[in-house]
Amino acid sequence: MQLKVQPIDIKVGKFKVVLNNLDAKELGVNPGDRVRIKNHTTVTAIVDFTEDMISPGMIGLYHEVQEQLHREWTETVEVEPAEKPKSARIIRKVMDQQKLTKEEIYELVKDITEENLTDIEVSAFLTASYINDMTEEETEWLTRAMVDSGEKIEFDMHPIVDKHSIGGVPGNKITLLIVPIVAANGLLIPKTSSRAITGAGGTADLMEVLAPVEFTASQIKEMTQKVGGVIVWGGATNIAPADDKLIKVEYPLSIDPHCQLLASIMAKKSAVGADKVVIDLPMGSGTKIPDMATGRKLARDLMSLGERLGMEVDCALTYGSSPVGRTIGPALEVREALKVLESMEGPNSFIEKSVGLAGMLLEMGGAAARGQGHDLALETLQNGKALAKFKEIIAIQGGDPNVTSNDIQIGEFSAEVKAPSNGYIIEFRNKRIVQIARLAGAPNDKGAGVYIHRKLGESVKQGEPVITIYAEKEAKLQAALKSARQDPPLIVEGMLIERLTDIREV
């Protein structure tokens, strides 16, 4: 069918066109079907319908289709029905819990990467793989297909080490210590990180306080070879792009299918050429790992997938019921990390976790003997080598290497939330703390966040601050404060056991 082009200057992220109902009927296509649009080049696009926005005889081309056809533009195009992509049948197999072949998984990942699937189809795939999961073999293929969906970094030198945290615990700024510790000991660590989606600050948001974080794969390779490590935003690269597309659909569903979680982590590590990887699995209420059994299974699966991919993977189940350190929000967290690097001044929970994981990497990478990693990591912090290396990393990414913890700008508006009575912190809700930090402006306002004066189990006196909220804008401070008052992130109570003792004494 010949149709006259009507450009629609809207980007929809996919190849999409709009047909009038009458033409669609004539073509025999339904909404969500595909058509082939032939000009000098051919584009397959997803069809939407309209009764009145597009007249009969016309075809509305969204931005992406226009761009694809652009080079040899004509006023009319030939439109014909196109079959569904093979991936539609492949997704149906996942729903029916039939095992996919390697070729099918590659086809599916290709279509996901190239935006050939509708949201409906990608959502069905993720929902089905959340419910039915995949076999180890399928998960390996999925990971390899994700790696092959984008750019890869290959280093001449080995080993390449890397770390990943599966998230779920607020204030997890350990990468800011681990990368310099590891790189200071001669290992290469090309660390790509994420920005916060639902959190108050991803590692990329934190690092951005100190230096630019958006680089290409080849820049990452070059910088890593020069100074030993980088801390950059993975989203700016074309590394495992299929994964980013899937995350966009997982987010609104609030799911993280097991096989996708595995493939997502390992594809990103494999694509940067990592040989030795440590994975931080925060465990506890509010994290992705409610109990030890779940954590052990995930660790086993990650290690087994690593083996299939030729990577040595070690996992650490870490304490995740409380934030790491005492700060949440980009600038506050960076200041806390810099203080530790400058003077070892800072919370034990933060230092110990960082040193522990860095030590594992030092041992795996051969920079420390078995059992000596922790001590070497601690020493690297104490003797200032980690700080020196961190300055090199900041410099190579284009930041100011002379920055100190005192230079970090924290939001100028602040308010304390005080203890209503003497007692102990008997409940500390990570998710609420994150919500309050986000209401205060984090991660977009780098200076916004929360300082935690008292953590779970600590004692506090009436009127003492339990948290301080920081913001760059007064209205956001007020919104965060209001929320903290309406639904407090922590609960202070007298020690009930002592009271019971009192009763017995009567």
- The binding site for AMP consists of 168, 194-199, 203, 264, 288
String marking each residue 242-261 x if it binds its own copies according to CB under 8 A: ------xx-xxxxx------
In the complex with its own copies, the residue whose CB is nearer, 9 or 498, is 9
Contacting its own copies (CB under 8 A), which of 6, 14, 31, 478?
A: 31
DSSP lists the bridge partners of residue 37 as: 43, 79
| Class of residue 157 by CB neighbours under 10 A (exposed 0-12, middle 13-18, buried 19+) | exposed
DSSP lists the bridge partners of residue 319 as: 283
Stretch that binds its own copies, among 30-38, 219-227, 262-270, 282-290 (CB under 8 A): 30-38
In the complex with its own copies, the residue whose CB is nearer, 53 or 495, is 53
Count residues near its own copies (CB under 8 A): 47
What DSSP state is assigned to residue 408?
Answer: P
Contacting its own copies (CB under 8 A), which of 11, 40, 158, 499?
A: 11
465-471 β-sheet, strand order: 327-328, 449-452, 465-471, 413-418
Contact 476, 439 (CB under 8 A): yes
Q: Which residues are catalytic?
A: 256
Nearest to 203 by CA among 247, 246, 167: 167
Q: How far is CA 312 from CA 269, 292, 362, in A?
A: 11, 22, 13
| Class of residue 497 by CB neighbours under 10 A (exposed 0-12, middle 13-18, buried 19+) | exposed
CB of residue 438 to its own copies, shortest distance in Å = 5
- Whole-number Å distance between alpha carbons of 248 and 258: 16
Q: What's the start-to-end Cα distance of the chain, in Å?
A: 94
String marking each residue 194-233 x if it binds its own copies according to CB under 8 A: ---xx-----------------------------------
Told to check if 69 binds its own copies by CB under 8 A, we report: no
Told to check if 238 binds its own copies by CB under 8 A, we report: no
Both structure tokens of 149: 């969906």
Told to check if 132 binds its own copies by CB under 8 A, we report: yes
Told to check if 57 binds its own copies by CB under 8 A, we report: no
Residue 422 makes CB contacts below 8 A (sequence gap 6+) with 459, 460, 461, 462, 494
Contacting its own copies (CB under 8 A), which of 41, 53, 103, 499?
A: 53
What DSSP state is assigned to residue 153?
Answer: -
Stretch that binds its own copies, among 3-11, 231-239, 311-319, 463-471 (CB under 8 A): 3-11
Told to check if 88 binds its own copies by CB under 8 A, we report: yes
Residue list for the binding site: 168, 194-199, 203, 264, 288
Residue numbers at the binding site for its own copies (CB under 8 A): 8-11, 18, 25-26, 28, 30-33, 50, 52-53, 84, 88, 91-92, 95, 97, 118-124, 126-128, 130-132, 197-198, 248-249, 251-255, 438-439, 441, 444
